[in-house]
Structure 1
Amino acid sequence: MSVSTPVSWLKRDVLLFALSIGCKVDELQFLYELHPEFQVFPTYPVILCVYPQFKQPRMFLQYSCLQEVIPYSTTLPHPPIPTLTPPPPALDPSKVVDGLRHLTVHHPLPTSTVGRNFRMRKSIVGVYDKGSGTVVHSLHQLVDEDVGRCYSEVHAHSFYVGQGGWGGLRGPKVEDVVMPSREADIVAYERSNTESSLLYRLNGDYNPLHATPEPGTAMGFPGVIMHGLVAWNMCAHAVIRSFGESRGCCLVEFEARFAAPVLPGDHLCIQMWVEDDPQRAERIEVRFLCKVGERVVLKAGRALLKRRI
């Protein structure tokens, strides 16, 4: 069973998203609405999985759209958890962190949904007891209902810290993407700063964990931590900039597993390898690993890009 909620965005939303994940001044196609090739950065659907109905414009003015901050504790429509024996506990959303994200892009997004009918369909694929916590695997499909077109699919594995041990199934093992043994083909560096998480949360993910130290301290972190998706999206930007000539339309798939928290101000080192497949000449596969110092923060990274013909 799935739930479907309306979702919308304006040009200002996609501009903010691109800026918050590190797009550069020489990539104005993501940062300037009057650029002749203005486009949505292709990983934007991942933010629409958070509070999708609250992305609805509140009020249209001549030059702007007012959208208010939404309390993280607000109750939202959620697909029912499948009936399980034994049943999982009531999960506390204040103690959830990212485990894995896999994005498949079917079509580039329009720069605005004004006059269109987009909805996010969400369903629960599985709920698994990992002992130290519970994993909820959900599927998010972004659909234009008027034409019946699915633009993207996001598989999300969310880990509820300290909420395991209820006797459920551990679930299928997720196979890691293996990194090549040779030196990386390209190494990119992305810088965060102490305000990076405060900027990214304006996209719609207002979890206090990324703004004030108390929730992180209660979960065993040193304080404020970055949204896992900041590093995830920065890696996507590095891959597309390095291997796709900063063309958003080149991205087909993007995935990575979250291995350790990133702190505001951390500098990311992204190691990337090209795995060419002679049977798939029109596509480029890039594998990547993201580190802060010697600590791996994103692993099992893989991207599939369309090769420019």
Structure 2
Amino acid sequence: MPLNLDIVGVESDPVERSWTSKDSLIYALGIGAGTEELAFTTENSAGVEQQVFPTYAVLLAQSTGHRLGDFDPAMLVHAEQAFELHRPLTPAGALRTTATVTGVFDKGAAALVVIEAKAVDPTTGEPVVTTRSSLYIRGEGGFGGDRGPKDQWTLPDRAPDHKLTYATRPEQALIYRLSGDRNPLHSDPTFAARAGFDRPILHGLCTYGITGRALLHGIAGSDPARFVRMSGRFTAPVFPGESLTISVWRGDGIDFLFRTTKDDGTVVIDRGVAGIAE
């Protein structure tokens, strides 16, 4: 069958996920953190309390409770990702997550599926994180639906207020995959070749995490409690070993606009917004 349009507005069954201090440390290493970030990469350094990168929220609050329909999964691309934290993440804990497909939009040659997930503390019911993911599914458009809303993001007509460059390592994807995404596109050269790449590519959410790590240290004083939200659109793949430059502009209120590029200028995350509390 084609995409299941009847799932719009239907809440999934709850999914519970727990994580340990070790899981938080592995995620930190997976997005490139190292010896200069011991608060995120160790749990037993003298005088240092373990902290968690805010972008880990997008993995902890994932939910797969909806059947979107029958289509070739190779046609699905992660298009956009956003999250809002209602409190900082703890090094270990648990979440109960429900997800709702908030829209299926007709892009002509493709469909755009938007999913919102809400994760709460399973003991108290207190909100912890809300995420929004957009999936672009090629070949599934043309059903006559709404094309979807347009955002108001505009590239500032001035030099960036901050420019942050972070390297990735050749083995970056092999470490990041230990946080849960074992798609061989990111590890198996034969599989990557079938997908049209001459070598495995970096996970999009790893690029997203490295971008968030740069923003945390560059404009939030390395304080996860100040990091309120982040959103961005994936526009091009990254290969492990390439460097990423995050250009940042001060926006309105607590918001900063950003764009992530490779050394050759290719934009890999566009239309970025990060909310950083004072």
Interval containing the TM-score (normalised by the shorter chain): 0.7 to 0.9
In 2, the alpha carbon distance for the partners of 1:235 and 1:94 equals 26
Distance 1:242 1:207 in 2: 31
After the TM superposition, which parts of structure 1 deviate over 4 Å for at least 4 consecutive aligned residues? none
TM score, norm. by length of structure 2: 0.87
Higher mean C-alpha deviation, range 124-133 or range 226-235 = 124-133
- Counterpart CA distance in 1 for 2:75 and 2:191 is 8
CA–CA distance in structure 2, aligned partners of residues 197 and 159 of structure 1: 22
Q: 1:155 to 1:209 in 2, by over 3 A?
A: same
**1:143-181: CA deviation from partner (whole Å, max 9, x where unpaired):** 112211110011000123x33245242531332522211
How much does 1:130 deviate? Answer: 2.5
Q: Provide Cα deviations, 1:246-272, integer angstroms capped at 9, x if missing partner.
A: 111111110111111112222111111
Identity %, equivalent residues = 31
> Is 1:135 matched with 2:112?
yes
Corresponding letter in the other structure for 2:233? R
Match for residue 55 of structure 2 among 33, 43, 49: 43
Q: What SS is found at the alignment partner of 2:124?
A: coil
SS of 1:44's equivalent in the other structure is helix
Cα pair 1:95 1:219 within 8 Å, conserved: no
Deviation of 1:80 (Å): 4.6
In 2, the alpha carbon distance for the partners of 1:219 and 1:125 equals 30
Which residue, 168, 176, 184 being the options, matches 1:208? Answer: 184
Between the aligned partners of 2:105 and 2:198, the Cα distance in structure 1 is 27
| Cα distance change of structure 1 residues 95 and 210 upon mapping to structure 2, 3 Å threshold | farther
| Partner residue in 2 for 1:230 | 206
Label 1:42 to 1:171 Cα distance change in 2 as closer, same or farther (>3 A).
Answer: same
Rounded to whole Å, the distance in 2 between the matches of 1:256 and 1:210 is: 21
Task: Give the equivalent residue in structure 1 for 2:174.
Answer: 198
Displacement of 1:190 in angstroms is 1.2
Query: Which whole-Å deviations, capped at 9, do the CAs of 1:18-42 have from their partners, x for residues lacking one?
Result: 1111224222111111243311111
Q: Which residue, out of 28, 32, 35, partners 2:38?
A: 28
1:40 partner SS: coil
The answer on whether the counterparts of 1:45 and 1:142 sit within 8 Å (CA) in structure 2 is no
The within-5 A match list for 1:158-307 is 158-160=135-137, 162-175=138-151, 177-275=153-251, 277=252, 280=253, 284-292=254-262, 293-307=264-278
Shift of 1:188: 1.1
Note if contact 2:226-2:276 (Cα within 8 Å) is conserved in structure 1.
yes
Return the offset for 1:191. Answer: 1.1
Tell me what 1:66 maps to.
none
**Kept after mapping to 1: 8 A contact 2:61/2:95:** no
Q: Tell me what 1:5 maps to.
A: 15
Paired amino acid for 2:29: L
The answer to whether the Cα contact below 8 Å between 2:52 and 2:90 also exists between their aligned partners in 1 is yes
**What per-residue deviation string (whole Å, max 9, x for no partner) do you get for residues 72-128 of structure 1?**
xxxxx52254xxxxxxx5133344321001110101122212xxx521212211223
Residue type at the aligned position of 1:306: A
Structure 2 residue identity aligned to 1:179: L
Shift of 1:220: 3.7
CA contact (8 A) 1:176 1:300 kept: no
TM-score with structure 1 length normalisation?
Answer: 0.79
Code of the aligned partner of 2:59: I
Give yes or no for contact 2:109–2:142 (8 Å, CA) kept in 1.
no
Q: Residue 26 of structure 2 aligns with which residue?
A: 16
Q: Does the 8 A contact of 2:107 with 2:142 survive in 1?
A: no
- Residue pair 2:120, 2:126 contacting (<8 A) in 1 also: yes
Q: 2 CA distance for matches of 1:262 and 1:169?
A: 32
Matched AA of 2:80: L
Partner of 2:126: 149
Kept in 2: contact 1:239–1:286 (CA 8 A): no
CA displacement at 1:286 relative to structure 2: 1.5
Query: What one-letter code is carried by the residue in structure 2 that aligns with 1:2?
Result: S
- Unpaired runs of 5+ in structure 2? 1-10
Q: What number of residue pairs does the alignment pair up?
A: 265
Letter in 1 for 2:66: P
